[in-house]
Amino acid sequence: MSTTAATRPSRRRLLQGLGAGAVGLAVGLPLVGGVREVARADGTGDDLELSFLISNLDGGWVPAKSAISSYEANVWQQLTDKLVHTDPKGKVTPWIAESWEQSEDATEYVLHLKDGVTFSDGTPLDADAVIANLQAWAVGRPDEGLPRVGLFPGGTFEGAEALDPLTVRVAFTAPTLSFLPTLGYHGCQLMAPSSLAGSLEEQSDLSTQVGSGPFVLESWAAGDHVRLVRREDYDWAPPALGASGPATLAAITYTVLPDDTLRASAARAHQTDIAYNVNPQVLDSFTQAGFHIEVPRYLGFVHGYSLRTNVAPFDDVRVRQAFTRGIDRAEILRTVFTDAWEPATSWLQAGVPETTDLTELFEYDPELADRLLDEAGWTERNADGFRTKDGTELGFTLYPTPYLTGSVPEAELISQHLRRLGIRVHTQKLDIPTWTERVTNDLSQGVGEVTRSFVDVGTVAGVITDEGEDWFSVGSSDPELVRLRDAVAGAADREERAGLVDELSRHVLEQAYFIPLEQNVQRIYVQSPDLKGITFNAVAIPSYHAATKEPS
């Protein structure tokens, strides 16, 4: 099975390639202009096709391993279904699970499944299939190289049993509020039990991966393309998408084009319907040319800096506060990004249901910042005009993250803002390996840059102290932080936890442990204006079940 899927297209390609050489040499260039017609996936009425350009599909197709990558997630989203749908506001609504009950202490859940759902190989998506999936997400088969899904709360997972063919009971050893929202994230896609039973190498072959989604695989070639076609008997889309029955589009082709400029050029030449991730700096030219730009935001932390409080000068809360008060975020949004970017309102993205607007704790106030630095004793000025204390100059270095386009001009702008306060900020751009080594893994580095999505707000408890990733290098020295961490982690009720998250966010921002910049956008979709009916989930992955192409 694997060989046919992998080799057939390549043999065709070989012939095509050799043919190209022969034809081209014999008759010259103009004749090959004929490819233009087939280049753009197009059609009318029932034959509408979508062409999607993506930077890479290199993570492989083993569901548990590729689950974290946003690239493969684009394809999985069309091939598979999930138990619940989580929308960009974090709202959990039914999908394959029509309804559910949760115990008082959030340690036990009962899921009621929709009747009549089948995988594309005809096997039923019933309680047994769901249990096989839960087992794969929570435990995996590490001795066979198959990890569990890292985002799934496997640590507290006790087990799952079928109460009847359409009812599953899931038990946890401790309150696990993240269970339901996690079911809506990529990674927790439902696969046929036969697919999950395969070995690591078998699972790496996309053609052995059977889902129950609105599209099925037609062909794929590693690192090159994936082509999906509509499943005609599909009838269990999540009600949240607002469409039922089979998909409108007949086929979707994902083509890998690693180069940014090439994807942009192909879009500009109208050779594709969607180009995924282009440089934000060129977005305006696309808007002017009539393209539609989608910049969905995921749930998670905003883009910002986490400060290590054991590194000077961030060991002084007043310096940290001056840092956050000295940044003119409105100017950053105006000059570095486009109108599609939104200001930060907390250290959490605004879509996170527990987020409260705490802008007043970090908004631009250069006078306050000046005062704070004076109070902290940075009163002298040196020949260059920078503040000093006991002969030491006030300053630090920013290493912009190589993962986020725009972070370099942003850091340069921030360095100008802080210069006005008398803080000398160097900026240095590094490539990914060097950045990992010099910044991420170097704990003597005062500023860490954060761009991260999360499945559930409970994640915050895992990053703030030495019980987890200890972003601020405070260890357990801040009793208020420790109290709030334990309260958020152990909460059994979402409303009660929301209040605790607000308290925690307030504390983090008041202490200026975290410097919010703007709401994070890491996925940019440049779309033809003809495309309609596209919806995004909580982690900014599109669903094309209800999508259609209509000239606007």
Are the CB atoms for 506 and 348 separated by under 8 Å? no
Are the CB atoms for 351 and 301 separated by under 8 Å? no
Of positions 43, 94, 124, 147, contacts another protein by CB under 8 A:
147
Q: Work out whether 21 is an interface residue with another protein (CB under 8 A).
A: yes
Alpha helical stretches, state H, 511-545: none
Nearest residue (CB) to another protein, 194 versus 356: 194
At residue 398, what are phi and psi to the nearest 5 degrees? -105, 130
Of positions 167, 194, 207, 265, contacts another protein by CB under 8 A:
265
- The HSE-up count of residue 399 (CA atoms within 13 Å, CB side) is 19
Gap between the Cα atoms of 169 and 159, Å rounded: 8
Of positions 223, 239, 242, 385, contacts another protein by CB under 8 A:
223
Are the CB atoms for 538 and 351 separated by under 8 Å? yes
Question: Which amino acid, 113?
Answer: L
Taking alpha carbons only, the member of 280, 203, 236 closest to residue 85 is 236
Of positions 156, 271, 287, 451, contacts another protein by CB under 8 A:
271
The helix or strand, by DSSP H or E, that contains position 418, with its residue range, turns out to be: helix 407-421
Are the CB atoms for 225 and 254 separated by under 8 Å? yes
Distances (CA, A) of 522 to 279, 337, 341: 11, 12, 11
Task: Count the residues of the shown chain that bind another protein, applying the rule CB under 8 A.
Answer: 71
Binding-site string for another protein from residue 64 to residue 103, where x marks contact by CB under 8 A and - marks none: -x--x-----------------------------------
Gap between the Cα atoms of 310 and 307, Å rounded: 9
Of positions 46, 104, 144, 495, contacts another protein by CB under 8 A:
144
- Cα(first)–Cα(last) distance of the chain, in Å? 42
| DSSP per position, 109-154 | EEEEEPTT-B-TTS-B--HHHHHHHHHHHHT-BGGGTB---TTS-G
Nearest residue (CB) to another protein, 24 versus 165: 24
Strands across the sheet with 274-276, in order?
A: 215-221, 225-230, 251-256, 49-54, 274-276, 525-527, 292-294
Of positions 79, 84, 129, 151, contacts another protein by CB under 8 A:
151
Taking alpha carbons only, the member of 378, 233, 396 closest to residue 307 is 396
Nearest residue (CB) to another protein, 58 versus 235: 58
Nearest residue (CB) to another protein, 36 versus 420: 36
Of positions 33, 290, 479, 551, contacts another protein by CB under 8 A:
33
Of positions 36, 89, 334, 420, contacts another protein by CB under 8 A:
36
Residue 197 Cβ vs another protein, minimum distance, rounded to whole Å: 15
Residue 166 Cβ vs another protein, minimum distance, rounded to whole Å: 31
Of positions 49, 50, 61, 521, contacts another protein by CB under 8 A:
61
Of positions 25, 44, 46, 233, contacts another protein by CB under 8 A:
25
Residue 354 tokens read as 């527990």
Interface of this chain with another protein, residues 185 to 214, rule: CB under 8 A = 200-201, 203-205
Instruction: For helices 366-375 and 407-421, give the axis angle rounded to 10 degrees.
Output: 60
Taking alpha carbons only, the member of 552, 534, 475 closest to residue 252 is 534
Residue 438 Cβ vs another protein, minimum distance, rounded to whole Å: 15
Interacting stretch for another protein, rule CB under 8 A, among 257-265, 331-339, 413-421, 527-535?
Answer: 257-265
Of positions 43, 94, 124, 150, contacts another protein by CB under 8 A:
150
Number of helical (H) and strand (E) elements in the chain, helices listed first: 17, 25
Q: Work out whether 183 is an interface residue with another protein (CB under 8 A).
A: no
Of positions 1, 29, 444, 479, contacts another protein by CB under 8 A:
29
Nearest residue (CB) to another protein, 81 versus 449: 449
Of positions 45, 122, 142, 391, contacts another protein by CB under 8 A:
142
Q: Work out whether 59 is an interface residue with another protein (CB under 8 A).
A: yes
Interface of this chain with another protein, residues 507 to 546, rule: CB under 8 A = none
CA dihedral 77, 83, 89, 90 (to 10 degrees): -120
Interface of this chain with another protein, residues 322 to 361, rule: CB under 8 A = none
Interface of this chain with another protein, residues 465 to 484, rule: CB under 8 A = 469
Binding-site string for another protein from residue 434 to residue 463, where x marks contact by CB under 8 A and - marks none: ------------------x---------x-
Nearest residue (CB) to another protein, 67 versus 129: 67
Q: Is 300 helix (H, G, I), strand (E, B) or coil?
A: strand
Q: Work out whether 26 is an interface residue with another protein (CB under 8 A).
A: no
Q: Work out whether 385 is an interface residue with another protein (CB under 8 A).
A: no
Residue 154 Cβ vs another protein, minimum distance, rounded to whole Å: 8
- Cβ neighbours for 123, distance < 8 A, ≥ 6 positions apart: 129, 192, 193, 194, 210
What is the number of residues in the chain?
552
Q: Work out whether 227 is an interface residue with another protein (CB under 8 A).
A: no
Q: Work out whether 290 is an interface residue with another protein (CB under 8 A).
A: no
Of positions 47, 89, 105, 145, contacts another protein by CB under 8 A:
145
Nearest residue (CB) to another protein, 59 versus 343: 59
Of positions 63, 140, 175, 214, contacts another protein by CB under 8 A:
140
Residue 142 Cβ vs another protein, minimum distance, rounded to whole Å: 4
